[in-house]
């Protein structure tokens, strides 16, 4: 677990923008954390320490900010990185999973050979933020359709009021570094 002063350090490195993208929303802009070499290195060191002995086979990142953390972590842990993207963005044969939004539905995709046809690959799912959990739940369904197992879902930020982590915890272990 991360100490409270370390959490405060990371949270202070993330810019909060009021009324974006619409009135009443406080947008958490992680670009300021990424632009702070010490804060980003601190975060990645924490993730390496947490996951280096988990016997993972793959790191999966959700488009687009999950790519940043996932690719950096996979390089540090010397593990393959797998992207989950919006439809039409991956060039090879894909499977797709849809999920509900406040006003409609959306979908995400993964390559059918993402885990090199291995059975029971152990996967860490990573993204910057969990809100309602719809995207992460769809990502876990994709992982499972390819006969892999999501060992844990990791998020930099959890929006506590939206209960997404609680819903996701029905499918896998959830680790949120910061809660807002």
102 is catalytic: yes
Render pLDDT for 6-47 as a digit per residue (tens, 0 to 9).
999 999 999 999 999 889 889 999 999 999 999 999 999 999
28 is catalytic: no
Active-site entry in 65, 76, 85, 141: 65
Q: Which of 154, 151, 159 is nearest to 120 (CA)?
A: 151
94-101 and 104-111 beta bridge pairing: antiparallel
Residue labelled with tokens 């930020």 = 157
Structure confidence at residue 167 (pLDDT): 94
Active-site entry in 15, 55, 63, 102: 102
Structure confidence at residue 117 (pLDDT): 83
Q: What is the per-residue DSSP string for 12-29?
A: HTSEEEET-SSTT-EEEE
Structure confidence at residue 104 (pLDDT): 82
The pTM of the whole model exceeds 0.75: yes
**Rounded to an integer, what distance in angstroms lies between the CA atom of residue 78 and that of residue 176?**
23
Looking at domain 53-179, does it have CATH number 3.40.50.2020? Answer: yes
Residue labelled with tokens 């291995």 = 118
Render pLDDT for 138-169 as a digit per residue (tens, 0 to 9).
999 999 999 999 999 999 999 999 999 999 99
**Rounded to an integer, what distance in angstroms lies between the CA atom of residue 155 and that of residue 10?**
13
Residue-range domain boundaries for the chain: 53-179
């Amino acid at each position: 677990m991360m100490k409270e002063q370390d959490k405060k350090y990371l949270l202070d490195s993330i810019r909060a923008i009021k009324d974006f993208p619409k009135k009443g929303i406080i947008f958490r802009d992680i670009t300021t954390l990424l632009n702070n070499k010490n804060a980003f290195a601190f975060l990645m060191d924490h993730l390496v320490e947490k996951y280096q002995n988990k016997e993972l086979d793959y790191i999966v990142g959700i488009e687009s900010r999950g790519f940043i953390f996932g690719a950096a972590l996979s390089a540090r842990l010397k593990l393959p990185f797998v992207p989950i993207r919006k439809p039409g963005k991956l060039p090879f044969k894909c499977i797709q999973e849809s999920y509900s939004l406040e006003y409609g539905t959306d979908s995400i995709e993964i390559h059918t050979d993402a885990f090199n046809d291995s059975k029971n690959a152990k996967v860490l799912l990573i993204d910057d933020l969990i809100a309602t959990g719809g995207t992460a739940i769809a990502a876990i369904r994709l992982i499972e359709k390819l006969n892999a197992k999501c060992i844990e879902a990791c998020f930099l930020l959890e929006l506590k009021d939206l209960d997404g982590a609680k819903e996701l915890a029905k499918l896998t272990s959830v680790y949120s570094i910061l809660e807002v």
